[in-house]
Structure 1
């Protein structure tokens, strides 16, 4: 290393000629900081050993870890599988006779934007209990089993899973065990959800059953106390009462008609129906008819005797005695037959007899109608009293029956819904299918020789580029400084 000495500025101005500079070699020491920044001449080959040393040290620091990694790292194989979540939902409907309709509907797994089933399954696959279960199946320690790598494909329902193993068969076995543990965990979660829902549904069913039983007991108690078994029965009672009322109206009209006929016949015959019945009864008795004929004959004989003899003539007296005897016998016979005196009618021959018979028949019909009408009116009054007493019970029974029907329908629908929910197992945890079975790797995934060599080569190239830049840095800095001075001078 040399030092240069130059005369002062004042001496430089007065000197006639310039003295040559003296270069005195000094002892070598560490280069200055400026020299480290600027570097040396690109033609100075004395710098080459230092750069070679740096190159060899840099290559050794790059390739030694790479070679150690390739030689000491055991091979690792990666098995992968692909899962898919179908995106369509499912629905079903069942009509139950006399009960109602039970329907189930499973929405698509991707219908809710706030919940991603693929993200849920990604977390579940990597869950510690799933990995522990898979390691337990293979009797492998959890630390040696490894962690699965789960990757989701955007805008799809695919889930890619990767898992490493010391051998191809071991990697595939671990992936299969992970798949088995994952599906078993999903089934357990679904079963737990179904059990929880079923417990809640059974509690509701017990409440509905108790409500139905209470309503049934109330209905039974009301039936026992009132004798009314249904609201339809009360309606039938109302219909029967209305029919009875209509029948009474008809009976009244018929009774009025027959009574009018009886009055007309009584006015025409100038006898009442009771007397007409007595006349017909007496004239139908042969003894009475014979006595009546005998009385008529004695009456005729008496009239003849009175016309021929005096009032006290023995013939007249004998005829009068015979006539009185005949009348007494006839009255006695009438008394025995009808319990009344001698009737006014002595003969019912001709059309008068038919009219008398018609009068008696109509009177009998009128009496029958009157009796039947009285019975019907009594029955109607009793029926109305019973309906008035049953009206509150019928209203209460109808309300209870309606409550019972509603409670029974709710109870039946709850049972049907509980049963149908057993098929809806994919509501919270949608269906997942294996799109690609766990693969058997044919080459180790690590250590990667190609990647390691490529990384070492890249690092070596970067080291060479750095050393080349260090070799020419003085020329580059000088060129940049000179360009800056020229630009400044041009600007001035």
Structure 2
């Protein structure tokens, strides 16, 4: 070949000794493929070696599981009947009605640092060493599931048991605190109610001490007595009317007017008049007998006549005093001795007069009883009028006492009932499955993640190396 720079012919073997650009690129490609393959192998070896060493020497953990049941608290009502006072009721409504779940509160509680620190202290661990449990709430149920890890199966089980006991202890303390707060509020209300009851009772006692009315029963008894007296008076009035009718009938049988019957009864009722009448009848009979045996001018007849005149004068004087007006001897004889124009015998007339006198006496007694009853009725009516004015005040004071008693007794009963219900905000739990003793170690998620990361890193390394190798293989492209 001719050399243009020197103008001479070059030897043939010299041409073969100079490398061409194509041969140089083939050498780079050959060296580049081996380089990237070695680099890929080295990077993957380091990546997988680190991943396997991490998995091998990572501490093995065991998981203890357990489950509890947390039933929802439903609204409850307790009724207690208080004799003579009323009815007391205690209403406990659910604190989670319609918008929350107590299990969420329990989840927060068991994962709180405060409770975990207590459990860790009981295990002789720090909070970081003890770790936090995993909590799962099963939908459409009242069940909660817990998981806690430990380096050994026994340690995991003991941690689970300690955590469950700590949770139960904390729930019991919270329930007691809630009941104590409720009791405190009820005790304050109970103290106020007791004071109101004492004030109402004292006001009622003071009023009874100065008022004539002691109770509503007293007024009812007086009213009942008044009604009884009125019925008795009505019966006496009816009896008096019957007696008056009988007196009028007897007066008609005796052929006497009402005035004459009244005069006859008045004379028959006077003892002194009756004595004068008896004396007059005896002297008249003696005079008649002597007149039949002696002459009218006889001294004996004359003396007896004077005696008769004296007795007659005394009889008329007493009759005038009884009747309040002068009356003749013939009128007296007609009223008490004879029947006038009647054909009745003297014995029949005497019987009728006896009946008339008896009726008159009965009539006077009935009239006296009626008058006495009228006085008693008037007194009771006045007393009822006075007591009725006091009854409204008494009823108001008694009503205040009953209301205070009902309120006090109701709150006291509610306090007693409230102490039996301690699960309003913190419903009771039931241990469904106790913490188990795990048999197989737990495959940690970090190990799985390490394997996935190593595999993903290997893919990225392969992709990168292939891309670089292809780029160096075709540099002009």
TM-score, structure 1 as length reference: 0.75
* CA apart distance, 1:191: 0.7
- The answer for the alignment partner of 1:409 in structure 2 is 406
- Distance in 2 between the 1:415 and 1:406 partners? 14
**Number of equivalent positions:** 433
- The answer for the alignment partner of 2:287 in structure 1 is 298
- Distance in 2 between the 1:215 and 1:111 partners? 40
1:58-105 CA-to-partner distances (Å, cap 9, x unmatched) read 225423432442354332222222223224736454443515445556
Say which of 126, 132, 153 aligns to 1:168: 153
Q: Give the match's secondary structure for 1:82.
A: strand
- The answer for the alignment partner of 2:266 in structure 1 is 274
- The answer for the alignment partner of 2:439 in structure 1 is 442
Q: Give the match's secondary structure for 1:81.
A: strand
* CA apart distance, 1:158: 3.0
Residues 336-351 of structure 1 mapped to structure 2, 5 A cutoff: 344=333, 345=336, 349-351=346-348
1:421 aligns with 2:418: yes
- Distance in 2 between the 1:465 and 1:439 partners? 47
1:245-286 CA-to-partner distances (Å, cap 9, x unmatched) read 343333334334434544564574433322022479848x9x
Say which of 360, 370, 374 aligns to 1:373: 370
Residues 176-325 of structure 1 mapped to structure 2, 5 A cutoff: 176-262=161-247, 265=250, 268=254, 269=256, 270=260, 271-278=263-270, 282=274, 292-299=281-288, 301-302=290-291, 313=297, 315=298, 317-325=299-307
- Distance in 1 between the 2:28 and 2:88 partners? 96
- Distance in 1 between the 2:98 and 2:390 partners? 53
Residues 11-160 of structure 1 mapped to structure 2, 5 A cutoff: 44-87=29-72, 89=74, 91=76, 93-98=78-83, 99-103=85-89, 111-113=97-99, 115-160=100-145
Question: What 5-or-longer segments of structure 2 have no aligned partner?
Answer: 1-17, 339-344
Structure 1 contact 292–330 (Cα < 8 Å) conserved: no
- The answer for the alignment partner of 2:470 in structure 1 is 472
* CA apart distance, 1:365: 1.4
- Distance in 2 between the 1:297 and 1:476 partners? 196
- Distance in 2 between the 1:447 and 1:301 partners? 164
1:310-363 CA-to-partner distances (Å, cap 9, x unmatched) read xxx4x2x54121232356478889999xx9899744589411111221222122
1:131-159 CA-to-partner distances (Å, cap 9, x unmatched) read 12212222323332222222333444332
Structure 2 contact 273–315 (Cα < 8 Å) conserved: no
Which stretch of structure 1 is more off in the superposition, 206-215 or 96-105?
96-105
Structure 2 contact 134–146 (Cα < 8 Å) conserved: yes
1:11-70 CA-to-partner distances (Å, cap 9, x unmatched) read xxxxxxxxxxx9877xx9xxxxxxxxxxx9899322123313432442254234324423
- The answer for the alignment partner of 1:456 in structure 2 is 454
Query: CA distance change for structure 1 residues 212 and 448 in 2, over 3 Å: closer, same or farther?
Result: closer
Structure 1 contact 228–394 (Cα < 8 Å) conserved: yes
Query: CA distance change for structure 1 residues 273 and 346 in 2, over 3 Å: closer, same or farther?
Result: closer
* CA apart distance, 1:198: 0.7
- Distance in 2 between the 1:418 and 1:442 partners? 51
Structure 1 contact 149–162 (Cα < 8 Å) conserved: yes
- Distance in 2 between the 1:203 and 1:42 partners? 101
Query: CA distance change for structure 1 residues 100 and 140 in 2, over 3 Å: closer, same or farther?
Result: farther
- Distance in 2 between the 1:377 and 1:476 partners? 145
